[in-house]
Amino acid sequence: MKKLIISGLIPLMIFTSCERASSQEIQNENIKNNVQNTENPLGIPLPSEISSTETVCILLRHAEKENVGTDPDLTSAGKLRAEELKRLLGNVHIDNIYTTAYNRTRQTAIPLAESKGIVIKEYAPAATFAATQLFINNILAQNQGKVVVIVGHSNTVPEMVKVLSNNTLNVTISETQFDNVFITKNSAAAGSVFAVQKKFGQSTP
- Confidence (pTM): 0.82
Model pLDDT for residues 158-186, shown as the tens digit of each residue: 999 999 999 999 999 999 999 999 999 99
Q: Which residues lie closer than 8 Å to 100 by C-beta, 6 or more apart?
A: 106, 122, 123, 124, 125, 151, 152, 153
DSSP secondary structure letters along 101-136: SSHHHHHHHHHHHHHHT-PPEE-PPPSSHHHHHHHH
- The model's confidence at residue 5, banded by pLDDT at 50, 70 and 90, is very low
Q: How is the chain split into domains, by residue range? A: 1-39, 47-199
**Residue 88: left (phi > 0), alpha (psi -120 to 50), or beta?**
alpha
Q: How far is CA 196 from the centre of its chain?
A: 9
Q: Please tell me the distance from the alpha carbon of residue 64 to that of residue 201, in angstroms, as a whole number.
A: 11
Burial class (CB in 10 A: 0-12, 13-18, 19+), 57: buried
Bridge-partner residues for 146, per DSSP?
A: 55
Model pLDDT for residues 63-90, shown as the tens digit of each residue: 999 999 999 999 999 999 999 999 999 9
What is the fold of 47-199?
Answer: Rossmann fold (3.40.50)
**Burial annotation 99-113 (CB, 10 A radius, 16+ → b, else e):** bbebbbbbbbbbbbb
